[in-house]
Amino acid sequence: MTDTALIIDTETDQGRDPRPIQVATINAMTGFEWMKYFNSGRSISPVVIRIHGITDDDVAGLERFDLEAFELPQYLIGHNVRFDWRVIGSPSTKLICTVRLARVAFPEWSAYGQSKCIEQLLGKEEASRMTIAAHDALGDARMCYLLYQACCERLAIAPTDFAVVHAIANKANPVSKMPLANIRAC
């Protein structure tokens, strides 16, 4: 059986005990993109609305996210992936964190927030065009996919060799805590 991996990003309804209101994935083998909005069953916090712009009206009448209906891969890849993993229900899958991976691939970088990583990869002007979509799950997943591929290239690893990438990312320094200020900058 071939290993499968999805780049994942979520946008949520609350800061505490977050539930998904937008989930996006990119198949790391094929590049196929998927994105869907969900209703969490409760009001979206004004604080997080200011971050991602998704309102109660945007998700009114939509179904709730159901992990059972989500086709799980062997690997989930994301920037601070444990957050998205918890948001969707902590499924039984292996995790590859691009924050950890970038720390190994690009130890010379000064910061590892996702937008800052993209800026350090592409330069300020090109990054500003790409990060305009920050805090949209699909826009963030696209940035994460680009970062993942750049890390693999820098480390001379095939981006489809998920077991090797997983082992490297899991030996790297973890994110101790990503403060809200850094999340906004990601």
pLDDT at residue 132, rounded to an integer: 76
Taking CA atoms, 144 is separated from 15, 31, 48, 59, 89, in Å, by 21, 12, 21, 25, 21
Are 43 and 13 spatial neighbours (Cβ–Cβ below 8 Å)? yes
In this prediction, residue 135 has a pLDDT band, given cuts at 50, 70 and 90, of confident
pLDDT on residue 179: 44
Predicted TM-score (pTM) of the model is 0.90
**Which of the four CATH numbers 3.40.1110.10, 3.30.420.10, 3.50.30.10, 3.40.50.720 does domain 5-174 have?**
3.30.420.10
The two three-digit tokens of residue 166, written as one number: 């997983």
The whole-number average pLDDT for the span 47-67 is 94
**Region 50-72 average pLDDT:** 94
- The pLDDT value recorded for residue 174 is 64
